[in-house]
Amino acid sequence: MKWITRERPKIDRIACPWLIRKFIDSEAEFIYVPYDQVLEKAKKLNAVPFDIPDVEYTHYEEQCTFDYFVKKHEIKDPALFIIADIVRGADTDRHEIAKESAGLWAISAGLSYNITNDYKLLETGILLYDALYSWATHLYQQKHLQNSPFENLLHEVYNKFLKDKKSNAKTPSWVKDLKEIIQDQIDAQFTLDLKKISSELDLNPSYLSREFSKHFEDLNFGEYVRKQRIEKAINLIENSSYTLTEIAYMTGFSDQSHFTRIFKAHTGNNPSVYRRKIRKK
């Protein structure tokens, strides 16, 4: 089956062809033409028009064309419901619908800027939606830092060895170096990677995991890093005029709600309450 729409696609006119090929017609052919030629060419080529006004496959109220395809063809895949929200938010500039919408818009706009051939843009965009579908199907609940096998290993080793405090040996030289690396990376807002750090210290990651808590306040790697970030946040709250959102970003937290939760766990107060108390003194 042939499908036709207006030229220079960005969101809906890439997402819908991906949806059609994956769930409706794997042999579908897509045609891009100037807006004022879509209906004329559709009749001539016996193609189904989409994502233009006054045709069946289009926007309805606050729903975009992608939403209509999912509804019309009764596709029940849960991952598509996630993607539909992201596409709708990106296509209608309502990024509050899904936090990923702004990212999809940015990437799609960049692809359209870089690739001037609509058919090459379509094939590249399909790869983007394949990746988005895999994320929505398998990785939707995961966060980036949760995926580090080294941090998971560190947690396991910490739970196993925390109570084993028999060694009173002299503090190894790498401990001071590691403290400096952690502080440097927190100050620079980098993502801490235990494997990379192990390489910089010329240590085996498993050894570093096993020995870490003995020299860092009986805390595992993740807990120690969070403690350092909160201490930096406290300093910024007490000695700067940055907003709490800015401080959350500057101390390496993924969003303000995460920052608030960790801050309260460490201090007993959320950041806004803590700041008010400081200002009253």
Task: Check whether residue 68 and residue 85 sit in a common domain.
Answer: yes
Cα gap 128→131, rounded to integer Å: 5
pLDDT-derived band at 190, boundaries 50, 70, 90: very low
Higher pLDDT, 252 or 254: 252
Task: Check whether residue 129 and residue 237 sit in a common domain.
Answer: no
Tally of residues, the chain: 281
Cα gap 155→170, rounded to integer Å: 24
Reference 51, options 30, 38, 65, 61; nearest CA is 65
Strands 47-49 and 29-33: unpaired
Q: Which two tokens stand for residue 123?
A: 């094939």
Task: Check whether residue 170 and residue 126 sit in a common domain.
Answer: no
Q: What is the mean pLDDT of residues 158-170?
A: 52
Task: Check whether residue 108 and residue 160 sit in a common domain.
Answer: no
Among 139, 165, 191, where does a domain finish? 139
Task: Check whether residue 135 and residue 158 sit in a common domain.
Answer: no
Please say if the pLDDT value at position 166 is more than 70: no
Write out the E strands in the chain.
Answer: 2-6, 29-33, 47-49
Domain count, the chain: 2
Q: What is the mean pLDDT of residues 101-113?
A: 95
Kindly write down the DSSP assignment for every residue of 187-221, as one continuous string: HHTPPP-HHHHHHHHT--HHHHHHHHHHHTTT--H
Query: Which pTM does this prediction carry?
Result: 0.55
Check residue 151 and give its pLDDT: 55
pLDDT, one tens digit per residue, over 33-64 is 999 999 999 999 999 999 999 999 999 988 99
Among 116, 139, 162, where does a domain finish? 139
Task: Check whether residue 133 and residue 238 sit in a common domain.
Answer: no
Check residue 259 and give its pLDDT: 81
Range of the domain at 183: 147-280
Please say if the pLDDT value at position 6 is more than 80: yes
pLDDT-derived band at 202, boundaries 50, 70, 90: confident
Q: Give the CATH number for residue 214.
A: 1.10.10.60
Task: Check whether residue 7 and residue 104 sit in a common domain.
Answer: yes
